[in-house]
Amino acid sequence: MQDRGAKQSDHSRDSRNSQDLLASLSNWVEAGALRAVDLAFTRFIAEEGGVTDADVLLAVALTSERNGHGHVCLDLHRALESPDRLLSRLRDDTDLSPQVREELREQLAALDLQDWVRRLANAHNVIAPMIDGLTGVDHVADPIAPEATGTAENPARREPAPAGHAGSPLVLAGSAERPLLYLRRYWQYEQRIRAGIQARLVTPVAIDVARLDGYLDALFGRSAGPQTRQATGKQAASENPEQPNCQRIACERAASRRFFIITGGPGTGKTTTVVRLLALLQRLAMPNDEGDDAPVFTPLRIELAAPTGKAAARLTESIAGQLHGLPGGAEAWGPVIPSQVKTLHRLLGTIPNSRHFRHHAANPLPADVVVVDEASMVDVELMAHLLDALRPDARLILLGDKDQLSSVEAGAVLGDLCQPAPQGPSSSPRLPCTLETGSALGQAIVILWPSYRFSQAGGIGALASLVNQGGVVQNALKLFKAKQDPALGIIDAQVISDPEDTAFSRLMAEAYGAKDSFLHQLRNQAPPADVAQAAFDQWAADILQAQKRFQLLTPLRQGVWGVEGLNQRIIALLRQRGWLGEAGEDSRAMAPRQWFPGRPVMVTRNDYSLNLMNGDIGITLSVPAPVKGGQAAGTTSMLRVAFPTAEGGVRWVLPSRLQAVETVFAMTVHKAQGSEFEHTALILPDRPNPVLTRELLYTAITRSKKRFTLLYSQEAVLAEALSARVERASGLQGSW
């Protein structure tokens, strides 16, 4: 007997067929709503998998589309509830878009969740169903399949694969109430992450608790309660002696755990805390007895990593500074706490032209402790590889700001794991920096506060906090209008009609014309051609340092409000003022018209042969170059791009060798993650856009060290950004 859902499905199936759907999807690609790859994948599923049910194919297309937007899976319930949140690439200013939106709404409105899930679960050729208790489903795949990749010694690496569905390109998982459709590879990444973390959560490290308090006292001072000032002598503007010491609590909890997350906003002491934690772990690893027969101390092998070269360089600098603050100083701790931070790709050992790494379950990293900074930028794929590459007994410590934008790639692992965490300090009067979930994962997370860089009393700290908590636009604008105190970080806002507005030109002139701007140094401090190379290295180092003084950020890539339009606009403005050299001065550079002295560029793809990482910023400079050959020998000038090295020096690269770079007078907020600038300006477009969210505003504001400027045209756009949240479907949220 057919149930009600099945009858409905017959009805909807009758009303159109898979060919109609594929034709619609083709139009959606034309309208920019889907990628060509989404359509190709759906066609493949229809043709190779023999799927004729249009509603199943629609789910497949949307799963692929969501994946392209950083979602690990398609949340079927959310899709039916809010169809307008799908197809985020669809631009509202194109003629086709109302029609595409309407078509999608109609198609989804005709669906019943249970019936849709049942039909997906029965599409055996292409989908492995992993949800128990679905009605009308004749077969549920076994989540622990014999072909699992785990080993007897390390069951955490077991990779579930469904019996009978082993090769299916999609997986239906989640729960009957919240069904999730995955591309198989992403489901597997999540499974590996979950298993890797779970195995660590249930196997604590045995420590000598009797020694723990004494070591914590040595690192944080005697009192277990209030925040300490011992390490730096600084006081947080909002410091209150009654506040619990979150940093100490983090170290205490992390000491016996194999998996731990230290999260917090800018300047809340994540690096300070992790350096103390590493010192604590080494102290606990030292034998207690120091007599002649005492066992030899074998220090823990520690590896430090970050997702980008930029973040790695910043942490390297910060760790080196923090080692001095430890009791005993860098001399005592330098030999057992490394300050050199690697990129995650380097740590895992990239294999050229492959998604795989040299380190994996069968060849794990020789490390006892791995610390990953800026973990909010690590996507599911990389996190799965990292967990695979850890020895079963190795500890993993993640640092990051859970409220920041996540990686552009699929998955927001840190945010998902911290999902039960409150925005800002928790309301628990007892332990405001810990979660009250009681789950093993909840116990392994500490949220640091307050910020030692920004007070909540006003300026940057107050604005970031208001945005994070979804404040209303009037309150945000009030904060901008309040009397500014440079000690709290200046914030200002300006209304502009568009990037041609004189207020925009004025801000650019102020930023790039200032005596301490990089362009000023480039023009006025250049050494004479006949001096030693060291003078040019120093000049370049000063320019690279000065480049961190100001950065324009935008949420968009294309159009006049996006990086492309803004870069052109700024270059034209700076040329008008004679502050930038003309393009193509050096005809030997490849694509000479693109290259000119003063062009700041960001590397957009790791280049191991040049040792340049995604996110590295360099500046194009004109430097003397010898001319070889007989009578004409002498010097000429040549364009070179100067990049900072981890050791504080400068590396020169020929422009022609740089394969993937973009100009960064303006930079997307996404690309600015992991970087900080003294002054950042965020320019908002003149109409709403799905990328405008609280997380984006928060990330942009917290890139500023001393000043933040908001340039906007419509208050309504700012209001919408303040109310929208990044929503990423993932199976890592929820029960642990």
Query: Is there a binding annotation on residue 267?
Result: yes
Quick one: which of 112, 110, 132 has its CA closest to 121? 132
Query: Is there a binding annotation on residue 149?
Result: no
Q: 3-state class of 319 per DSSP?
A: helix
Note whether 329 and 323 are within 8 A (CB): yes
Closest to ligand ATP by CB, 489 vs 685, is 489
DSSP string for 214-225: HHHHHHH-S-SS
Query: Is there a binding annotation on residue 334?
Result: no
Name the minimum Å distance from CB 320 to ligand ATP.
12
Name the minimum Å distance from CB 117 to ligand ATP.
42
Query: Is there a binding annotation on residue 268?
Result: yes
Quick one: which of 368, 388, 386 has its CA closest to 278? 368
Quick one: which of 661, 574, 584, 654 has its CA closest to 617? 661
Query: Is there a binding annotation on residue 266?
Result: yes
The sheet carrying 661-663 orders its strands as 650-653, 634-644, 617-627, 600-603, 661-663
Count of positions (residues) in the chain: 736
Closest to ligand ATP by CB, 5 vs 450, is 450
Take residue 133 and report the two structure tokens written for it: 């208790």
Name the minimum Å distance from CB 227 to ligand ATP.
5
Closest to ligand ATP by CB, 266 vs 565, is 266
Closest to ligand ATP by CB, 269 vs 489, is 269
- Helical pair 36-48 and 54-67, crossing angle rounded to 10 deg: 140
DSSP string for 523-580: HHSPPPTTS-HHHHHHHHHHHHHHHTTEEEEES-SSSTTSHHHHHHHHHHHHHHTT-S
Name the minimum Å distance from CB 702 to ligand ATP.
7
Closest to ligand ATP by CB, 134 vs 236, is 236
Name the minimum Å distance from CB 682 to ligand ATP.
18
Query: Is there a binding annotation on residue 225?
Result: no
Name the minimum Å distance from CB 371 to ligand ATP.
12
Query: Is there a binding annotation on residue 437?
Result: no
Q: Where are the beta strands (DSSP E) in 131-258?
A: 170-174, 179-183
Note whether 277 and 254 are within 8 A (CB): yes
Name the minimum Å distance from CB 452 to ligand ATP.
3
Closest to ligand ATP by CB, 231 vs 382, is 231
Q: Where are the beta strands (DSSP E) in 233-339?
A: 259-264, 302-306
Take residue 605 and report the two structure tokens written for it: 């793809």
Query: Is there a binding annotation on residue 273?
Result: no
Closest to ligand ATP by CB, 266 vs 562, is 266
**DSSP H helical ranges for 221-308:** 246-254, 270-285
Residues with Cβ within 8 Å of 305's Cβ and at least 6 positions away in sequence, in order, are: 312, 341, 342, 343, 344, 346, 347, 370, 371, 372, 373
Quick one: which of 592, 577, 563, 561 has its CA closest to 519? 577
Beta-strand relationship, 490-495 and 617-627: unpaired
Closest to ligand ATP by CB, 232 vs 443, is 232
Name the minimum Å distance from CB 377 to ligand ATP.
12
Closest to ligand ATP by CB, 372 vs 601, is 372
Residues with Cβ within 8 Å of 228's Cβ and at least 6 positions away in sequence, in order, are: 220, 221, 245, 247, 248
Name the minimum Å distance from CB 422 to ligand ATP.
18
Residues that bind ligand ATP (CB under 6 A): 227-229, 231-232, 234, 247, 264, 266-272, 318, 452-453
The DSSP code for 227 is P
Name the minimum Å distance from CB 137 to ligand ATP.
47
Note whether 722 and 472 are within 8 A (CB): yes
Closest to ligand ATP by CB, 237 vs 613, is 237
Residues with Cβ within 8 Å of 69's Cβ and at least 6 positions away in sequence, in order, are: 88, 89
| Binding residue numbers | 264-271
| Binding residue numbers for ATP | 264-271
